[in-house]
Amino acid sequence: MAEKPDIDPKRENPEQVELDGVSEGIEALPGRLNRYGKAKKGAIDVAEYIGTIQEHQGIARRVQSCGDYLVFRHYFTVDQVKLHGAQLCMAHLLCPLCAIRRGSKALKAYLDRWEVIRAEKTSLRPFLVTLTVKDGPDLEERFKHLHKGQRELWMRKHRGRGSPLDGVAGAVWSYEIKRGKGLGLWHPHLHMIALAENQPDQQQLAAEWHNITGDSFIVDVRPISQEDPAEGFMEVFKYAVKFSDQPPADTLQAWLTLKGKRLLASAGCFRGVPEPEDLMDDATALADLPFATLFYRFMQGRYALTN
């Protein structure tokens, strides 16, 4: 098995999702604004491309104006900065800014759930499982193939006749879409956090996956650090597409193919984590504290503080 699936444990990808807005103080805000500013520029690039196509002008306008302003609250007595308000487009497959916020919110929600689970079931460990399908020219067909394969993998576990997932008590997974190396064909794959007492067997999983898909056997199983689970969890909650690696035409095609589809799913004890209601930071724990409002507007390629 010479090929390796796409895993970026060293976080070399600059678009890697970060756990932002959780306990960050005012000194972290310039870095955050810089990240958001780059993402906003990426959104404008996509919007300008799709705005040239007649039927997409509505969504292009929404993406174009996404995050034109950002309102933060600085809770200065505890030095925490929270994103409080913004007009966001919510099209995370087109917009890097919304993708950052969506990833960050989901990462936080599932890390919180994991803390609750591990306190109750102390023998469970998190593992990062990656499933890939062979590259192909038709994104829709390849995505369906992956999606169907994943469903069948879980059906087989539930049928109880022996499955590489037998020891898995809970899982959360997300789909990622990119072009593969070489011919540049579509390469959808999925990353999953699986909670189990023992590491699922990679060879058994590869054999089962090949049996299910008929054409694909590249899988990967590795432990996630117990001390710093965020690092492994990030692989699952990063962007569904890599905006900076693909031309806007591919971004548009991925959106057209995948919009409305569920790209994040869960099973077992990871079920029922609520979807975030919005993409702002949660500040409920700080509700009674005084704050200063910081209002930023995107001007000349960066976020600038305004009155």
For binding to Zn ion (CB under 5 A), which residues are involved? 66, 88-89, 95, 97-98
| Cα gap 108→242, rounded to integer Å | 21
Residue 50 CB, nearest approach to Zn ion (Å): 13
Residue 36 CB, nearest approach to Zn ion (Å): 11
Residue 159 CB, nearest approach to Zn ion (Å): 41
Q: Which C-beta is closer to Zn ion: that of 291 or that of 303?
A: 303
Residue 7 CB, nearest approach to Zn ion (Å): 27
Residue 71 CB, nearest approach to Zn ion (Å): 16
Q: Which C-beta is closer to Zn ion: that of 96 or that of 229?
A: 96
Contacts of 157 (CB under 8 A, 6+ apart): 163, 165, 166, 168
Q: Which C-beta is closer to Zn ion: that of 95 or that of 205?
A: 95
- Whose tokens are 């999606």? That residue is 147
| Residue 217: both structure tokens together | 């056997």
Q: CB–CB of 153/200 below 8 Å? A: no
Q: Which C-beta is closer to Zn ion: that of 95 or that of 269?
A: 95
Q: CB–CB of 17/103 below 8 Å? A: yes
Q: Which C-beta is closer to Zn ion: that of 61 or that of 125?
A: 61
What are the strands of the beta sheet with 168-176, ordered from one edge?
A: 219-223, 125-132, 189-196, 168-176, 264-268
Secondary structure (3-state) at 233: helix
What DSSP character marks residue 238?
A: S
